[in-house]
């Protein structure tokens, strides 16, 4: 199956039984940081952080040399520099990341049409139909790794397995710059020694609940009575975790990616305590989310609010609408209602809106359309913006300097968009 190479990786050396392992999970290594190093070879081997030194920027990516000091994505750059004071901070270049993502995905598509892109830097491939031309799954994995490095200068890690879940686990174990084949017959031998935190769906709170049952490994989850799991994490969570712990994952590679949610958030340079300012920022964010929904011809049934206090405590609240919408004013009203429910209001560091439970616009007739007037108005605004630019029109309350201190707040889509 694979061996520990002494550097904390588990990689395949020599031959492995890949006869029943048609699924590849390919993950680029420290993608954003690696792209930056293509133009800055002098920084190779050094701890590098992708982000901004100013304000409240968070770490977008970091080289493995920086990660050894505990630096991680989404960590405030200020904290990362306390952990690794000698790190080099490089501002992000999203145009370059998009370019290289396109190049990498093109290589994947050359191998097989069955590519499920998960994010800008990772994808699942089903290579069942490519064997006759390109060889076994392990040989295809080696070919992809070679092409990616030769054509882009970047490295990737590849997991090869019988299912998507195990392939993703394998690529994680092989990082950086390695590949691991998990033969179908060895699936449980691979999974069961791993700690429970490596299992999909196990975050800090779920891990704590499972540890209270005395569970430490994936094998423990597979062996514990399902009733005990249900008492700890609920019926749905217990069934999912139990199946995964047994290596059961029937999902196929889906070539059409349907977004599960669309969101935007803002991190303020200065904590905000004025409810009026927060409502204005929510209007700005709601407008951005609504525009993206309409561009993609989606409507959302659930509106989510994300708030992070000054002490980094993060709260999420959501509300499901009687009728789905892509109207910014409706998103704003629902988000403000959720915000008003958070009392007492503490200094706010970050706030965001997410549209969830998406479906194609026009699927089924509405029972009623309470937003008809606003819908027509926003469609007209879309037409003007399309012709004259995105800044041609905006709600009147947004026609002022952004709040949040000098330079305004830093806005971005939610990281998992």
Q: Which of 65, 116, 122, 334 is catalytic?
A: 122
| Dist. CA 104–CA 107, nearest whole Å | 5
**How far is residue 361's CA from residue 363's CA, in Å, rounded to a whole number?**
6
Q: Which residues contact 124 (CB under 8 A, 6 or more apart)?
A: 23, 24, 25, 26, 115, 116, 118, 164, 167, 168, 253
Contact in structure between 104 and 121 (CB atoms under 8 Å): yes
Q: What is the DSSP string of 304-318?
A: EEEEEETTS-EEEEE
Q: How far apart are CA 361 and CA 374, in angstroms?
A: 16
Residues 6+ apart with CB under 8 A from 132: none
Q: DSSP 3-state assignment of 153?
A: coil
From the list 319, 327, 317, the residue with the least C-alpha distance to 302 is 319
Is-catalytic flag, 146? Answer: no
Closest by alpha carbon to 80, among 88, 72, 92, 68?
Answer: 72
Q: How far is CA 239 from CA 34, 59, 197, 222, 223, in A?
A: 38, 35, 17, 11, 13
The torsion angle over the Cα atoms of residues 272, 277, 280 and 281, rounded to 10 degrees, is -10
- List CB contacts of 209: < 8 A, sequence separation 6 or more: 232, 233
User: How many other C-beta atoms are found inside a 10 Å radius of the C-beta of residue 411?
Assistant: 16
Reduced to 3 states (helix: H, G, I; strand: E, B; else coil), residue 3 is strand
Whether residue 42 is annotated as binding a ligand: the answer is: no
121 is in an annotated binding site: yes
Name the nearest CA neighbour of 144 among 166, 159, 162, 129: 159
Q: Which residues are catalytic?
A: 122
Q: Which residues are annotated as a binding site?
A: 27, 121
Q: Which residues are annotated as a binding site for Mg(2+)?
A: 27, 121
């Amino acid at each position: 199956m694979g061996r520990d190479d002494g550097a904390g990786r588990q990689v395949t050396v020599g031959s492995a039984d890949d006869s029943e392992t048609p699924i590849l999970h390919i993950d680029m290594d420290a993608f954003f940081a690696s792209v930056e190093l293509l133009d800055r070879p002098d920084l190779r081997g050094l701890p590098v952080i992708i982000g901004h030194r100013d304000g409240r920027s968070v770490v977008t990516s970091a080289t493995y040399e920086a990660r050894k000091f505990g630096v991680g994505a989404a960590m405030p750059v200020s904290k990362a520099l306390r952990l690794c004071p000698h790190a080099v901070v490089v501002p992000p270049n999203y145009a370059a990341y998009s370019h290289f993502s396109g190049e990498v995905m093109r290589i994947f598509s050359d191998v097989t049409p069955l590519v499920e892109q998960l994010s800008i830097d990772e994808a699942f491939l089903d290579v069942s139909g490519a064997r006759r031309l390109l060889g076994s799954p392990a040989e295809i994995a080696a070919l992809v790794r070679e092409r990616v490095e030769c054509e882009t200068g970047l490295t990737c890690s590849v997991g090869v397995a019988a299912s998507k879940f195990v392939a993703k686990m394998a690529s994680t174990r092989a990082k950086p710059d390695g590949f691991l084949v998990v033969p179908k017959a060895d699936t449980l031998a691979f999974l069961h020694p791993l700690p429970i935190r490596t299992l999909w769906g196990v975050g800090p709170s779920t891990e704590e609940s499972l540890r209270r049952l005395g569970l430490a490994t994936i094998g423990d989850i597979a062996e514990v009575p399902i009733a005990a799991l249900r008492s700890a994490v609920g019926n749905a969570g217990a069934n999912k975790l139990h199946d995964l712990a047994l290596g059961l994952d029937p999902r196929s590679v889906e070539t059409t990616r349907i977004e599960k949610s669309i969101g935007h958030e803002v991190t303020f340079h200065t904590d905000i305590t004025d409810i009026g300012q927060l409502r204005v920022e929510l209007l700005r964010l709601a407008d951005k989310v609504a525009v993206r929904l309409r561009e993609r011809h989606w409507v959302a049934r659930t509106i989510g609010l994300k708030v992070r206090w000054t002490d980094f405590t993060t709260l999420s609240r959501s509300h499901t609408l009687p009728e789905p919408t892509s109207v910014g004013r409706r998103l704003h009203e629902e988000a403000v209602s959720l915000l008003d429910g958070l009392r007492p209001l503490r200094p706010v560091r970050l706030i965001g809106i997410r549209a969830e439970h998406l479906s194609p616009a026009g699927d089924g007739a509405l029972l009623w359309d309470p937003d008809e007037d606003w819908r027509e108005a926003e469609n007209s605004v879309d037409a003007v913006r399309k012709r004259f630019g995105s800044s041609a029109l905006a709600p009147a309350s947004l026609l002022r300097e952004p709040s949040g201190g000098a330079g305004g707040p830093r806005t971005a889509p939610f990281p998992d968009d």
